[in-house]
Amino acid sequence: MESIDLMVLRSARDWLAAGERVLLATVARTWGSSPRPVGSMMVLREDGRVVGSVSGGCIEDDLIHRYTRVYGGAGIAPGLPQVVRYGVSADEAHRFGLPCGGTLELILEFNPCQQLLEQLLARLDAGELARRTLDLSRGEVRLEPSASPDQFSFDGRYMISTLGPGYRMLLIGAGALAEYVATMAQFNGFKVSVCDPRPEYMGACNVAGVEQLVGMPDDVVRAFRPDVRTCILALSHDPKLDDLALLEALHSPAFYIGAIGSRRNSQQRRERLIEHFGETQASLKRLHGPIGIYIGSKTPAEIAVSVMAEILAVKNNVALPGEVSVTHAKRAKERQLLAG
């Protein structure tokens, strides 16, 4: 399952190509609590069909009533982009289902250029980052290559959004845990690949949509060319496979690098990487292990939930409190048992 942004852009492109009228809405600014972050997009077709989201649903309903003919609205006519704001008053916030004190500002583009959407999607499908700049005063869009995923910005005239290929996940080691993690990752918009040179494991991997990569894990990591939207997990429990792959990952821009294992195994892994491969405590700060947050999980499915929660927190720049780490929580539990 690809990211919601790509689904919105593809839907807009396809509907325009079919001769439909569409409205592309983007969350430009928020004040107070907001259901969706800035940069979130949705596309509305004139018959009321919607892909994507800019709120919990009520604002989408209002846009459908205003800009489609389903409920006698004005329809989607050509014109310059507009800025609309929801939730300024307490009554509006209540009406549109916004959290208390929440205000949402949207940029509405009426029938965006199909050719430019084609160009944008071609760049994204090629694995490139692209900067899309909309000049609201002229209704003009400019596409440029981007070296980094810059933050979304809007200064009242120019809306600048950096769009890129979807987030990717590389799993080293097939098996039950890898299958659960892969399934959850795909639901969260990650493109998932798995590598395991052991044929008995790889042959049993059958999660739909998961790419199987052949080769030794360190070579696969290198060829994978991890970027800032890549996470790499070592799940094989075999140091001969995990260690070399982790070494390659640690010297890449991947936003998350982790390895399965107990606290003892994780400590032994760190010692091996320092003693035999020249790593340091500083260089290993990016290595998560034991991976996941502590939820008392025992089964592969529950461990996958724990792992995915930590990955999403890192992806979303959320600093997790130490109390939820597996190491901290298990030590605290052991102290309680000793004191008890």
Q: Give the E-state strand segments of the chain in sequence order.
A: 22-31, 41-45, 50-52, 82-86, 103-110, 130-135, 140-145, 153-154, 158-163, 168-172, 191-195, 211-213, 230-234, 256-259, 287-288
Q: Would you say residue 1 has pLDDT above 60?
A: no
Name the DSSP class of 150. Answer: P
* Domain contains 339: no
Residue 224 sits in the same domain as residue 279: yes
Write out the two tokens for 224.
Answer: 């994978």
340 pLDDT tier (thresholds 50, 70, 90) = low
Please tell me whether the overall predicted TM-score, pTM, comes out greater than 0.75 for this model: no
Span 236-258, average pLDDT: 93
The rounded mean pLDDT for the chain is 88
The last residue of one of the domains, among 163, 191, 218, is 163
Residue 70 CA to residue 89 CA, distance in Å, equals 28
Give the pLDDT confidence score for residue 91 in this predicted structure: 65
The last residue of one of the domains, among 116, 139, 163, is 163
Q: Which residue in 217, 265, 215, 207 sits closest to 240, CA to CA?
A: 217
Residue 11 sits in the same domain as residue 64: yes
134 pLDDT tier (thresholds 50, 70, 90) = very high
Give the pLDDT confidence score for residue 246 in this predicted structure: 95
Q: Rounded to 10 degrees, what is the CA torsion of 204, 208, 214, 217? A: -90
The HSE-up count of residue 136 (CA atoms within 13 Å, CB side) is 18
The last residue of one of the domains, among 140, 163, 186, is 163
Give the pLDDT confidence score for residue 88 in this predicted structure: 58
Give kind and range of the element (H or E) at residue 118.
Answer: helix 114-125
What CATH number should be reported for the domain holding residue 308?
3.40.50.720
User: For the chain, what is the domain count?
Assistant: 2
Look-up: residue for tokens 């050509």?
78
Taking CA atoms, 52 is separated from 11, 16, 23, 200, 316, in Å, by: 10, 16, 12, 40, 19
The pairing of strands 287-288 and 256-259 is parallel
Taking only the tens place, the pLDDT of each residue in 9-22 is 999 999 999 999 99
Provide the residue range defining the domain that includes 230.
168-334
* Domain contains 317: yes
Residue 295 contacts residue 305 (beta carbons within 8 Å): yes
